[in-house]
Amino acid sequence: MKKSLLATVMVMSGGPLLAPPVSAPPAGAQPAAGEPQAPAAAAAGKSVVGEMALVEAKRQQLAAREAALAVKEQELKNLSAKLEARVKELESAKAALDRSLDARKKVQSANYQKMLKVYKALKPAEAAQLLDKMDEGEVLEILNEMDQKRVAKLLPLMKQERALRWTRHSLAAK
């Protein structure tokens, strides 16, 4: 039976025929005693046809799976291309944002330097009066940026608790 299936599959696939089908007896062969010849040949033919149908069904299933995989592969390629485009778009947006932040930092730094020059140019009493009205963090920054002589003139004119906080902050930073 297996040789018959192999021979049938080989003939259907266009490959070389390795063995003759078992269903046809060799020429001049005598049937065995007590063995009906026609029903055995019919049964063998039916089983070969059934096996051929099974092989064809499997081949069709494999072809359908292969087609489905090809579709999925194309979908993945499309998604990959979209993802790469989105990544490039995001990288471009990030670069633009970085440039914008750098420009903003430069402007803020320039503004800070101008403001610092203004406070340095003020008379110590005027500067101390304005510093006492400012936020603690801002005052600490301004005092840290000023030279030692200027701060020495400002500290006696500022509120005592603010001058002490700046002193503690400066000592803690070391």
pLDDT digits over 127-152, tens only?
Answer: 999 998 999 888 888 888 898 999 99
The whole-angstrom separation of Cα 29 and Cα 32 is 9
What are the pLDDT digits (tens) for 47-102? 888 899 999 999 999 999 999 999 999 999 999 999 999 999 999 999 999 999 99
pLDDT of residue 163: 87
User: 158 and 128 in contact (C-beta within 8 Å)?
Assistant: yes
Which range has the worst mean pLDDT, 10-19, 82-91, 108-117?
10-19
Report the predicted TM-score, pTM, of the whole model to 2 decimal places.
0.45
Evaluate if residue 19 carries a pLDDT over 50.
no
Q: Quick check: 161 and 132 in contact, CB under 8 A? A: no
Q: What is the pLDDT of residues 23-47, one digit of tens each?
A: 445 555 455 555 555 566 666 677 8
The single residue listed with the structure tokens 């020495």 is 152
Mean pLDDT of 100-118: 91
Per DSSP, the three-state class of 174 is coil
pLDDT over threshold 50, residue 9: no
* Distance separating alpha carbons of residues 100 and 152, to the nearest angstrom: 39
